[in-house]
Amino acid sequence: MLFRVYLNLRPERGVSFLTGGGDLVHFSHTLFRELEKSNADPKGVAEAISLFAKERGGVFSTYVRPIKPRSSTEVLTRVLEAEMVNGGIGQAIYLVISDFGRIAEAVIASSRAVGEVIERIVRSMKRLNLMRISMPIPYKFLVFETFNRFTKEFQPSYRGYLRIGEYENMISVTDDMRALMWPLEQTFMEYSAQIDDQTKRVLADFIRAQSDF
């Protein structure tokens, strides 16, 4: 796996933090660099991972410093998949950081519980204008699960593929023009409470052409 985090082990090059509970949390070099690149708080993430491991539950959440510029209006959610090694045993986990402006929520989830986190993210879209979900690589499981949850929660009237600008997009749109879009093979998805005029035109032209056919 590309990213690894170790509890009370330091088997490879990386950066370590001592948590308030006395655990040594060691990030692999690649994971620490990714956290820096995402502007995430590595100390806060280390504390969250330590508590997640102690609780032995499927999901643990806490609050960390924001990861985006204060001037940004969209909610940014960053998702990372990593292997957590604890007591010599590896476990796949997901780190999900959602930035709401003044505060960010960090959620650690096991692979079996990540669907619960995705459902939470999709439900939060109902009160938001914009959200971008970004990943270091396209996690297609995450993409398809997000679209499935969006379908259940929003009941879109159109689901399919549209070329908008330079990208072919997978898109779901509701009657009131809320939309979830994924430019194929890209590392982000975007939710908008009101799609832009260009997307409206492309969608209207496509539906018109389908009805004419």
Domain that holds residue 51: 1-112
17 in the same domain as 98: yes
Say which amino acid occupies 5: V
Q: Could you write out the DSSP letters of every residue in 62-89? A: EEE---S-TT--SEEEEEEEEEEEETTE
Cα gap 134→130, rounded to integer Å: 13
At 119 the pLDDT is 95
172 in the same domain as 106: no
38 in the same domain as 106: yes
Residue 212 lies in a domain: yes
Cα gap 52→59, rounded to integer Å: 7
CB 93 within 8 A of CB 109: yes
169 in the same domain as 64: no
Q: Give the residue from 86, 106, 85, 87 showing the smallest Cα distance to 97.
A: 106
66 in the same domain as 14: yes
Average per-residue pLDDT in the chain? 90
- Pick the last residue of a domain from 78, 112, 146: 112
149 in the same domain as 50: no
Residue 124 lies in a domain: no
18 in the same domain as 68: yes
10 in the same domain as 107: yes
CB 93 within 8 A of CB 108: yes
Tokens 């459902």 locate to 119
Residue 68 lies in a domain: yes
At 213 the pLDDT is 43
**The two structure tokens encoding residue 202:** 């492309």
Say which amino acid occupies 135: M
Q: Number of folded domains in the chain?
A: 2
93 in the same domain as 154: no
Cα gap 117→182, rounded to integer Å: 19
**The two structure tokens encoding residue 45:** 């993430």
At 30 the pLDDT is 95
Cβ neighbours for 72, distance < 8 A, ≥ 6 positions apart? none
Say which amino acid occupies 111: S
At 211 the pLDDT is 56
176 in the same domain as 80: no
106 in the same domain as 28: yes
Residues of the chain with pLDDT under 70: 68-73, 209-213
